[in-house]
Amino acid sequence: MNQSVNPNEANHLSERDIEDLLQTKQDFSDGKTAARDWEDIENDLNKEYDKAF
């Protein structure tokens, strides 16, 4: 599965943020990271969002 991110649609994310998200997705697909509980992921996303705004 090959997906790309349109920077124009993700205007609140930096280029680095997008690269990190895509790398995390690739690492998971390659079996380099373990699955995480959704609550942990949501908490991390909320923390990053709060830092950005």
Distance CA 47, CA 1 (A): 28
The pLDDT score that the predictor gives to residue 33 is: 85
pLDDT tens-digit map of 1-53: 455 656 565 457 788 988 998 998 899 899 998 888 889 989 988 888 888 77
Question: How far is CA 15 from its chain centroid?
Answer: 12
User: What was the pLDDT predicted at 22?
Assistant: 92
Q: pTM here?
A: 0.47
User: At residue 8, what is the residue type?
Assistant: N
pLDDT for res 26: 92
**Cα 37 to Cα 7: distance, rounded to the nearest angstrom:** 28
Residue 30: per-residue pLDDT: 93
Taking CA 49 as the corner, what is the angle to CA 4 and CA 35, rounded to the nearest 5 degrees?
60
Q: How far apart are CA 18 and CA 1, in angstroms?
A: 17
